[in-house]
């Protein structure tokens, strides 16, 4: 068009296309990302900085790895030699050995904080005297150790220092006369027979998990097993024809515990019809959804959940069923020696504790057995025969002067 529009500014060309408002920014073009190499990704993971949780774990290693990485002449390494002897010669359980390892680690940490960080085992043992041991006890209490934990640490200390003294690594045992705290004697928590029946009926009998839990509860109450003995139980340890279960207790001590007919029926149904559905990956009787053995924590959570469903008004644990097993046997007329063998106690004093659980049973035995009790027989204390008249006269007269 040769003619210019009216009102147009000379020297400027008009827009060839209308401008869309709000879309002036050009659209970004995405370039295709290069293919990632698996080797480069693995190297990036290795070179990545550690998280704060991993750094904390590196700063605070476990007692086992700290002892293995310690110098060969250190106190921790000497403690490992003692623990190996306890495990191989005396046959202590691995859990007890691990607890003693933590106790020796506490002693080594205390000595390191007291200025014996660069000392070897002999030099560290030479620093231990009565005053240092008392400071060690105060250090443990300030750290938050309870009475039972403190008593175990002192027992470990007496054994370890006695072993060092026998090998002439130190002169005498300064912990031999060190008394531990006085522990209160607490009565065990025991369920009534109605509470036991409610707990056994709590699992769902229609699901495989409920049938597994029902068998677990029946076995605990029928045999009085510890939770560690329960989770380590293998199918070959159950002899359903003889009606017994072979148990390996503390220190790998073996014992045979019988089972009643109802527990046998429940266990037979579980082993035949329920356990194969879990696709067993381990040789354990009680398995989780993955086919591996249940842990102690899992058993504790299950029993706590079923206690809430059964409306038991107190907190219970797997050991509560063991206490209940022993108490109900004694109430039924079992003797202490038999209960001791069934529980696997090495000392009868541990079994005697169950005789103080039910005060009503003790009161009933007292009323039935004491010869001067008014309840025994038809005769009352008022109907007791009176002493002869001569005896009453002798008792009323004063003694004649000699």
Residues 117, 111: Cα–Cα separation, whole Å? 7
250 included as an active-site residue:
yes
Beta bridge partners of 256: 246
Which of the residues 100, 270, 306, 354 is marked catalytic? Answer: 354
Q: Give the residue carrying structure tokens 């209940």.
A: 324
Distance of alpha carbon 308 from alpha carbon 352, whole angstroms:
30
By the 8 A CB rule, do 280 and 289 touch?
no
226 as an active site residue: the answer is yes
Question: Of these residues, 158, 208, 255, 319, which one is catalytic?
Answer: 319
The partner residues of 246 in beta bridges, in order of sequence, read: 256
The number of C-alpha atoms within 13 Å of 28 and in the hemisphere containing its C-beta is: 3
> Long-range contacts: 299-302, Cβ < 8 Å, 24+?
299/216, 299/227, 299/230, 299/231, 300/227, 302/213, 302/216
Closest by CA position to 321, among listed 211, 186, 188, 202: 188
Tokens for 165, please give them: 């003294």
Is residue 324 within 8 A of residue 196, CB to CB? The reply is yes
- Please indicate whether residue 354 is annotated as part of the active site: yes
254, β-bridge pairs: 248
Look at residue 43 and give its three-state secondary structure: helix
Q: Is 323 a catalytic residue?
A: no
Residue 257, helix vs strand vs coil: strand
Q: Which of 212, 226, 275, 284 does the annotation list as catalytic?
A: 226
> Do residues 203 and 254 make contact, with C-beta atoms less than 8 angstroms apart?
no
Residues 6 or more apart whose Cβ sits within 8 Å of residue 83:
97, 100, 101, 104
319 carries an active-site annotation: yes
- Are 294 and 212 a contacting pair, CB within 8 Å? no
Clarify whether 260 is annotated catalytic.
no
Of 250, 255, 304, 358, catalytic: 250
Residues in a beta bridge with 255 = 247
| CB of 327 closer than 8 Å to CB of 362 | no
Query: Catalytic site residues?
Result: 226, 250, 319, 322, 345, 354
């Amino acid at each position: 068009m040769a003619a210019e529009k009216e009102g147009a500014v000379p020297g400027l060309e008009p827009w060839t296309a209308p401008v869309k408002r709000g879309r002036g920014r050009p659209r970004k073009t995405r370039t295709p990302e290069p293919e990632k190499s698996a080797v480069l990704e693995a190297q990036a993971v290795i070179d990545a900085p550690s998280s704060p949780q991993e750094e904390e774990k590196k700063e605070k290693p476990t007692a086992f790895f700290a002892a293995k990485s310690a110098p060969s002449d250190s106190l921790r390494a000497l403690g490992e030699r003692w623990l190996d002897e306890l495990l191989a010669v005396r046959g202590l359980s691995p859990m007890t050995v691990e607890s003693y390892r933590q106790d020796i680690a506490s002693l080594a940490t205390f000595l390191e904080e007291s200025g014996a960080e660069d000392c070897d085992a002999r030099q560290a043992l030479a620093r231990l005297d009565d005053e240092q041991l008392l400071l060690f006890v105060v250090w443990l209490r300030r750290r938050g150790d309870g009475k039972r934990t403190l008593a175990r640490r002192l027992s470990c200390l007496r054994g370890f220092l006695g072993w060092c003294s026998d090998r002439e690594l130190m002169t005498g045992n300064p912990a031999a006369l060190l008394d531990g705290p006085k522990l209160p004697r607490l009565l065990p928590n025991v369920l009534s027979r109605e509470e036991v029946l409610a707990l056994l009926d709590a699992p769902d009998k229609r699901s495989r998990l409920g049938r597994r839990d029902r068998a677990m509860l029946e076995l605990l109450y029928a045999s009085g097993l510890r939770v560690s003995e329960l989770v380590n139980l293998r199918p070959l340890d159950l002899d359903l024809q003889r009606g017994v279960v072979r148990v390996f207790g503390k220190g790998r001590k073996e014992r045979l515990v019988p089972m009643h007919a109802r527990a046998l029926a429940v266990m037979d149904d579980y082993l035949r019809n329920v356990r194969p559905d879990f696709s067993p990956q381990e040789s354990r009787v009680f398995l989780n959804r993955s086919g591996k053995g249940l842990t102690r924590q899992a058993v504790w959570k299950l029993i706590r959940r079923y206690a809430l469903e059964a409306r038991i008004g107190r907190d219970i644990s797997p050991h509560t069923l063991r206490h209940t097993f022993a108490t109900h046997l004694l109430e039924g007329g079992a003797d202490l020696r038999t209960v001791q063998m069934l529980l696997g106690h090495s000392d009868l004093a541990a079994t005697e504790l169950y005789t103080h659980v039910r005060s009503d049973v003790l009161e009933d035995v007292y009323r039935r057995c004491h010869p001067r009790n008014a309840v025994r027989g038809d005769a009352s204390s008022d109907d007791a025969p009176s002493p002869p008249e001569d005896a009453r006269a002798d008792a009323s007269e004063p003694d004649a002067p000699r």
